[in-house]
Structure formats: structure tokens, C-alpha cells
A and B are shown apart, each in its own frame.
Chain A
Amino acid sequence: MLEKILAEKFRNTLKLVFSDINNQQDRRDEAEFVKDEARIREKLLARIHAFPSDTVLSEDFLVAAVDGSGTESLVTLDDIRVHLLSTSTIVLNTDTQRESLFSMVDRATVESEIGEQPHIDVHWHSSVRNDAREKMAESLAEIYPLKDMVSLILPFFCDYTGGKISSITDISDTEFAPFGSRLQVMRSLISRTQTLTNAAVHEELRKVSEYAAARRLLESDLCPKYLLLDGAMSIFMHFVRHYPSMPSGFMLRDLCSLARRKEVILCAVSKNHTIPFAHRIASVAKEELGEGAKWFCHLPSKEDPGGGLHIIEDRAYIPPILAVPYLYSFSRDNRPSRIDFDRVWWSENIFVDGDPQATRENELALFRELEFMSRDARWYGYPVALALAHENCKLSFEDLRLAKEIARDVRLELGFDDRKTESLRTDYNL
């Protein structure tokens, strides 16, 4: 293969691909971006007035973060996969008054509230069509702490309809009425059955594990000011039924609703954002605010004053349903990241109708705190709580190797057949 990669032909093929991207996508995006540039420059971009490093907050607060990791192939038994899931919840105290910035809330306190940390869980999944959905539903129901289906689905419908649906009986008068009974069974909430690949199943299990950890935290007495999730606040919708195609979508809205009730600011941070021309926005920020400035840029949607940006007009899930995304940069050395907020919370707490100045003030105060929690030298520019959660939950190659070895040991201990449990490709050294 190497001779092919090193050949001129490969280079030429790549040239064609990049030229094609440039001609089609970039050129179009460029044209769209030109329409947005002035608005971005003048209205959406803002410089963060960072706290001085020796700042002492009048009220220190807690910042929590949840992250998860896992593998879909801890054990492979023919068409059955055993999924390994890990989550970690970190709670930090800004602790400016004791000059011990972002000190960890002691483990015993956190564990007494939300259980053992990091948390590890194992679920199995079969690829047989009907079993797949059944088993997955069973696992999701087991993982997520909220067991009452009505309570689980209502927050979405409530937020989606702007409060028109506030009880299960309200559904009968809406477009969702035909699906009323289905909505009360976890299995039926999985409407994307045709795409239930192992990876998709694992992704859903993992996401729900993280949401479950977040819910446990919100239910606890820890009461953080912020709860950070890893990823975007995207909800994948069923195109016909207009509600989430997977249970995790409902769970996310449940989290948002609970966070609002508990007065916790829920944010989802994604390094791997899909915002087009983010680098151009970063360039504009650099020109406008100067090298090294810490900044954020609101990415408005159609319903916001001034409408959505042209650059994201045809992008699915940007902005995500019921969320407000921002692009931000707290570090000159890194590419910008994205942060999403619950739109309902944002509308109530950040957005001031008819007063863009007040909205901007609220945004500035919000990002000032977010920036303050992103100055750890190990991950400068990234929220330290999320970074620590990531460090705590990640499964290294070596961890996985050992976990697989133990799984095999356990099977032998139980006296089950000594089928190899590694991926079949290992038989052929592939």
C-alpha cells in the first residue's frame, strides 16, 4: 500500500478532492460568509473581560462536569456484544477565597451523593433485529435513573411546543396524538431501528450513561452552579413524527428541565464542532479584538432577532433544536470550540427581548465565568472540570486489554465454554 500512497497518482487524486471541496463547498460558504461577516464583526462577536488571576469572588460556586467513555466490544460472542461504559462526574469549587482555585470537592462527599466515581457499567446487546431494540430499551431503562416514562417524555414536548403540552393528556390534541401510546414505552422511543449498528447502539448507551450521571448530580444536594457535558446539545429528530428518534433526545430535555428547576446552568462543550468557517470567525475575532483576545460569538438561529446566519442556513442540527450555540476561544493557541445552552434557560436568563445591550451584558457575565474555569495550565482554554472528568473516565488501550483479559477469566471461572471473546480479526492477526 505504501508504494501507492507515495505515488504521484495519489497526490493528484487528493488535489482533485481538495479542489472539488474548494470549488463547491468553500466557495459557497465563502459567499455565504461574506453576507454574515459584518453582523458577526459588529454584533455577534464579543471580547471577554476576564477575571484577574487573583480575583476573589464574593460567592464561590461549584462547577460540575460529566464525561464518559467505553467500548462496544469488551467481549464478542458471535452476534452478541458486551459494552463497557465508564462515566466520571467531577465537582470543583472555584475556591477563590481560599486561593485554591478550582479545588476538587472531596471524593467522599461526591460519592455519598452520586455513587462511586468513576462509575463503570457493562451491558450486552444482540444484533437480532427485534431483540436489538428490545435489549437496547431494557439497557437504557436500566441506565437512566428516571423510570417514569411520562415524566421522561414530557419535558421535550413541553419545551418543543413552548409550554402547550404540559401533561400527557395535552398530547391528544396535537400532531403527536397518533404516537401517544408508543411514547410511553422505552422500546417505542427507539424509532431509528434501521440504523441500530453496533456503533450506534454503543453511542446511545454511552450518551445515556453520561446523561444518567448528570441526572444523578442534578438530583443530589451538591447544587453546582454549572454542569458541563461533553458534546453538543443536538437532538436527532424523527423526520415524520417530529420528536426525538432516540430516547437520549428525551433524556437531554429532561436534564434541561431539571437543571432549570435546580437553577443549574447546563452547558454542552464540543471541541469537535461542525460549525462551518469557524476558522474565518476566529480570523475576524483576531482582526477585530486583537491577537490573544478571549472571545465568544453567538450563532443565532432563525427565531433570534436578526435571523439565522447564512453560513449555517442549510446545516442540519446547527443550531440544534432547543439549544443556543456559541463559538468561543479562551486560548490563542487553540482552535475555537463550541458551547451549547438550553434555549429555554437562555431565553429566560440571558436573552432580554428588545434589549441587545442587556443580552450582551448577560452573555459577558456568563462567558467571564466560563473562561475563568478554563485556565488550568494542563488544558488551557478548556473547562478544567470537563478535562478532569475526561481524564478520570477514559479507558486506555491498556485498561481495555486488562478488562478483556478479566472478562475471559470470568467466563472460565463460571465454567462457560472457552470461546474466544476477542474480535474475530485477532484470530488472523488482522
Chain B
Amino acid sequence: MDLDREKLGELYGKVGVGNQTSLGIMGNNRDISVGEIFMIYSKRDDHERVFFFRVLDLENYLRQVDDISRVASTLMVEGDAYLSGIERNMLLSVGGRMLGFAEKDKKGEWTFKAPRRMPDHLASVYRPMPGLSDESVREMLECQTDGEIVVGDLQVGEDTLDVPVRIPCKYLPMHVGIFGSTGSGKSNLMMVLIKSMIDTNLDAARNPNRKSTRVSAFCIDPHDEFAKGVDNIGIQNIVEDMSDKMRSEVIGEFYYLTTHRSATVREIGRYAREIRILWSEIQPRDLYSIMEFSPQMSSFIDAQYNGGSNEDWIATIIDMDESSDDSQGTLRAVKRRLRFLERSPIFIREGSSILEDIYCAMETGRILVVNTSLMGDQEQFLLTTVVTRTLSDMRRALKSSGNLGDFERQGEMRLPRSFFNRVKERARAFYSKGGGRDSAEVRDPRSLPVIQVTVEEAPTILNPELMRGQSVFKDISRQGRKFNIGLLVVSQQVSVLDNVILSQMNTEINLRLGNEREIKACIDNASVNISGFESEFRVMARGEAILTASYRELPLPVRIPFFNDIYEKDKHRYKDAKPKKTEEHII
């Protein structure tokens, strides 16, 4: 292989003690920080490998000094003491974890493997340097960092390399978790992810022949900051930068959903729709997913839903005369639970619903930013649930069908009839492999856009109590990948989330966490072994993350860029490229 070692970075030290899991390195007295990644060049039995090592502990080491405290106290007490020629004996003893190793396979391509080997004796340790090591690291870690959705740049200590860390779209349906305390940079991360999804769709639109996957996302924005930005630059800027044609292809008519369109600033308002969901589009299990009902209440509701009222079950129950029923207590309790719907401006008895438009947006690879800042918690959770369940039921109906005729029958069985009737023609167009006849074959859901649904403040609905019942999210977490629908679970806490959700999550973006309990839970839940990273979690700064994924061996430290910076860097991409003037070649 003959690797150019100079491109690995600055020669930093030598491997001392350790095993295949953890190593002790003796290195120069440089300004190393916890979290830095070193590369160890090793050649054993003619196998050239580059091991990746993550710094977890640092200790000053003075060569020829057994008792450093004694020296320090002498310097303190004896004011005239000095240390002769100590600079060359000042070393750093660096402890940390082996992350794995890169080696070239028989085809000459880099592969990355879990740490099941050990670097050679006294192997040289290199410290990656921005500007020097980017290319070699990018090549070696390609299989660990590739994908479409950019999360950030590979962080090596306090610096970053020009090595973008991405998540492949195909793994989005295997669910993504974003964990971080207040102020850890979750909102900025969400904006970065949204931008990256838009970029992915933009590329797909510009290169229709490439058969790129498009990504749809239903992004809950609890603080109404994604569109206009945390710092005056947001998704709206991207939208405005696009040409009408590109905007129409990538963004569509609207991207911003809000409770009160009239309260939206004019620029954003042009791409806004009001969130309105008909009571008839809500199914009992949507409510079971967000609040607790006693068995009697569930039976009562199910009886109404299945016993004729069907999709009008909410209106029927609300209109019921309390004195005319024998089960007055249960009715009153159910009514109390449903009362928020009566008061809600977004869940309406009659009128025009946005659900159809949401569905169509999600099936055409679009990003929706949902301003929930003026919603109550229950409204927000119910909205997420209804959208998730509707999208999932539509794809489930598709997955259960061989042709469009089957699909229609399945759809009528699974979805509220009035909603399905409104969307079925468009759904047939989305799902047909060709032609509109009932006998036309349907597409595999995995060839459709990946749908990512954000679940904000996840513990409220993804807790073990609600997940024990008929939660919509339990099904999605287990089966979503079949339908190409994934959850993007955003939470300040990991410890309170239900195990079903956690065990089905295959990508975690772990930001700074609030306390030791959450750090422990996060480490326990990570898709790859990051035990020993506790000290690193404690020193993580805003916007720094550790990305773990079950489909990757390497836990990746990532610095999430500031949205404004990457927007400034990329904004030229959103303009339509001017057609190049073709030169005339005269022979």
C-alpha cells in the first residue's frame, strides 16, 4: 500500500501500553484536548493499517521525575528553583480508546473495521492537521462518513477537518435520535439537517437521470425559528434564493405550516398554509398515542368508532347528551379528554383540511416546517400523530397491495373514508409503476421518497406508559423501515424514552447532555460502543456531537456548523446556474 505518512498529520508520539480497546500514548507536550482523534500507523506482518484513536484522558508526564507533586511543591516553596532543560522531558501521557482501523481491501479500497487488532510496538502516532490531513482522512473514513444528509464536519479535538460527516438517506427510515440539553445546539442542528435535505432534493431535481433518493420531512418547529432563523437567516432565505422553477420543484407551493397564517411575516406567509385537521381525520389510536385512556373509555370510544359513527366518532361523542346515556361517567371522562379538540383552532369539525396537502408534499420529496409555537402540547402531539399515522397507513396500504385496485381497497379499510377519497387519485399517481388502471402494478415503498417525521419533546409521547398501549409510534418504530418512514426523535433526555423506540433507533446524534444520568443513558443506548466517553460528554461544547450508528463501526465526533455559515457558503447553489454560452468551434 505504501501510505504517505506525512499526509496523516504531524508526528505526535509513540504507542506505549494498551490493548485492542484502550491505549496509552506518550506524546509531545502539545495543546491536546479530550476528544481529539489521532491516527496510528502500523505495519505488522506486512499489513499496513491506520488505527484511529480517541483521546479520553490526559496527564502531564515529566520524564525522569517520579513524583511530580514533589517537584511542584519545591518550585512553590523554594522561590529560586528552576527546572533545567525540562522542556524536552515534558511529555503528555495520553489515554484513550481505539476506535478501529482502516486498511485497504484486495480491490485497493479503504475499509474500516472494529478494533479487533493492536497497532505495532511503539507505533508512530500522528495528529491530524486541518489543511494537511483532510484528504487522507476523507479517503480512509469514506465508508464511515458517506451519505447524503450532512450533519457536520469531523471534529478532531477543538478543530475540524474538511471531512463532512453524512447520514445515508437509506438509513433515515431506521430512525434518528437527536439528544441534547437546552443550549446544546439542537435547533441549529435541525436547521442544518433541513438544509441538507433540501440540498439533497435539489440535487435530485437537477439530476433527474441519476435516480437519487428524495427526502421528505415533517419538521416540528416548537420555537418558530427554522423559517426565519435563529439569527435572521433561516430556511426562508434558501427558499427565496431559488428560482421559481427550482422552488416549485423542490419546495412546492408551501413549506411552512402554522396555526395562524395572518400572524406570519409577509415573506414567509407566501409559502405558508394554516394547519387544519378535520375531526374525521383523527382515529381513536391517534388519541391513545398521546394520552392515557382507561379500558372503559377506550371501549366506549372503540364502540362509537366501529359501531356506525365511524369517522364522525368525535363529533358524535361530543354531541352526545350526557343524561341520556347509562355510562354517564365514562362519557363525561371521554368528553373531558376530547374537550381540547373543541377549543383547538387546528382540529376542526368541518372545513378544509391540510392533511391532504401534507400527504402530497411528503410523497413528492418536500420539506415542511411546522410552527407549533402557538399550539398546546396536546395539539402538537396529536398533529404529529395524525400525520405520522396517515402517512404510515397510506404506505402500509401500498405495501399490502399488488396493484392499484388492491391499494384502493386497502386504503379504504385503513384510512378515514373522506380523507382517502380526497387523496386516492393522487395517491394512485404516486404509487403506480405505470398507468392508472386498477391492474397497474404498484411501486415498492422503498422507491418512494424517504419520509422523516420529527417527534419533538419526545418523552411526552414516547414514554413507556403510552408506548405500552396502542401507540402509533410503536408500530412506526418497528415497521417504519418497510414503508420508508422514519422518526426523527428530538429529546433533552434519553433515560425516559421507551426502550422499544431506543432499541429501534439506528442513528444517534448525541449533543451535550445535562447530567450524569443522561450521559450514562446515552452511552448505554448508543448503537456502537462508546463506553468510556463519559469525560468527553462532560466537556462537549455547544454544537459538538458524537454520531453513532449501528451501520458504522466508528463513533464520529462531529462539529455541527452554524447554519448561517453554511448558508453563506452554499447560497450560490440555490440560484439557477446560468446557461453557459456555447463556443462555436469552426473547423
Contact = CB atoms under 8 A, between A and B. Distances in A.
A375 interface: yes
A391 B84 CA distance: 13
A378 B72 CA distance: 9
A52 B80 contact: yes
B85 A53 contact: no
> Interface residue tally of chain B, by bracket?
10 to 19
Contacts of B85: 92, 102-104, 388
Contacts of A430: none
Contacts of A377: 71-72, 74-75, 78, 81-83
Interface string B70-108: 011011001111111100100000000000000000000
Interface string A316-336: 000000000000000100000
A369 interface: no
A236 interface: no
Contact of A102 (B65, B80, B82): B82
A331 B80 CA distance: 11
A297 interface: no
B80 A103 contact: no
A29 interface: no
Contacts of B72: 377
A227 interface: no
Contacts of A53: 79-82
B84 A92 contact: yes
A349 B65 CA distance: 37
B64 interface: yes
B1 to A, nearest CB: 33
A346 interface: no
B79 A388 contact: no
Nearest to B80: A53
A376 to B, nearest CB: 5
Interface in A368-401: 375-378, 380, 384, 388, 391
A380 B71 CA distance: 9
A52 B80 CA distance: 7
A375 B64 contact: no
Contact of A375 (B65, B81, B88): B81
A50 B64 contact: no
Contacts of B80: 50, 52-53, 375
Nearest to A373: B84
Contacts of A101: 82, 84
A103 B83 CA distance: 9
B224 to A, nearest CB: 59
A253 B74 CA distance: 38
Contact of A378 (B79, B83, B88): B83
A52 to B, nearest CB: 7
Contacts of B88: 104
Contacts of A92: 84-85
Contacts of B78: 331, 375, 377, 380
A135 B465 CA distance: 91
A50, A103, A104, A375: most-surrounded residue (chain B CB, <10 A): A375
B83 to A, nearest CB: 5
Interface string B137-180: 00000000000000000000000000000000000000000000
A331 B79 CA distance: 12
A123 B81 CA distance: 40
B82 A378 contact: no
B79 A376 contact: no
Contacts of A380: 74, 78, 81
Contact of A384 (B71, B74, B84): B84
A137 B240 CA distance: 97
A376 B82 contact: yes
B526 to A, nearest CB: 40
A375 B71 contact: no
Nearest to A102: B84
Contacts of A391: 64
A375 B80 CA distance: 7
Nearest to B76: A377
Nearest to A92: B84
A53 B71 CA distance: 17
A98 to B, nearest CB: 13
Nearest to A371: B80
Nearest to A385: B84
A103 B84 contact: yes
Contacts of A104: 84-85, 88
Contacts of A50: 80
Interface string B44-83: 0000000000000000000011000001101100111111
A380 B80 CA distance: 10
Nearest to A55: B80
Interface in A96-125: 101-104
Interface in A214-258: none
Of B64, B65, B79, B88, most A-chain CB atoms within 10 Å: B64
A102 to B, nearest CB: 4
B64 A376 contact: no
Contacts of A102: 82, 84-85
Nearest to A392: B64
Contacts of B84: 92, 101-104, 376, 384, 388
B42 to A, nearest CB: 24
B346 to A, nearest CB: 72
Interface in B346-385: none
A402 to B, nearest CB: 15
Contacts of B79: 53
A52 B79 CA distance: 10
Contacts of B75: 377
B481 to A, nearest CB: 57
Nearest to A292: B78
Nearest to B64: A391
A50 B81 CA distance: 12
Interface centre among B65, B75, B84 (most CB of A within 10 A): B84
Interface in A40-54: 50, 52-53
A380 B72 CA distance: 12
Contacts of A103: 84-85
A411 B212 CA distance: 70
Interface in A347-384: 375-378, 380, 384
Contact of B83 (A52, A331, A376): A376
Contacts of B64: 378, 391
Contacts of A384: 84
A378 B63 CA distance: 11
B65 to A, nearest CB: 6
Contacts of A52: 80
A50 B82 CA distance: 14
B89 to A, nearest CB: 10
A378 B78 CA distance: 11
A224 to B, nearest CB: 15
Contacts of A331: 78
Interface in A46-98: 50, 52-53, 92
Q: Counting chain A CB atoms within 10 Å of each CB, which of B64, B65, B78, B80 scores highest?
A: B80
Nearest to B62: A378
Nearest to B75: A377
A50 B79 CA distance: 12
Nearest to A53: B80
Interface of B: 64-65, 71-72, 74-75, 78-85, 88
18 contacts: A50-B80, A52-B80, A53-B81, A92-B85, A101-B84, A102-B85, A103-B85, A375-B80, A375-B82, A376-B82, A377-B71, A377-B74, A377-B78, A377-B81, A377-B83, A378-B83, A380-B81, A388-B84
Across chains A and B, which 3 residue pairs bring their CB atoms closest together, nearest first?
A102-B84, A53-B80, A377-B81
Given A53-B79, A375-B80, 18 more contacts: A52-B80, A53-B80, A53-B82, A101-B82, A101-B84, A102-B85, A103-B84, A103-B85, A104-B85, A375-B81, A376-B83, A377-B82, A377-B83, A378-B65, A380-B78, A384-B84, A388-B85, A391-B64
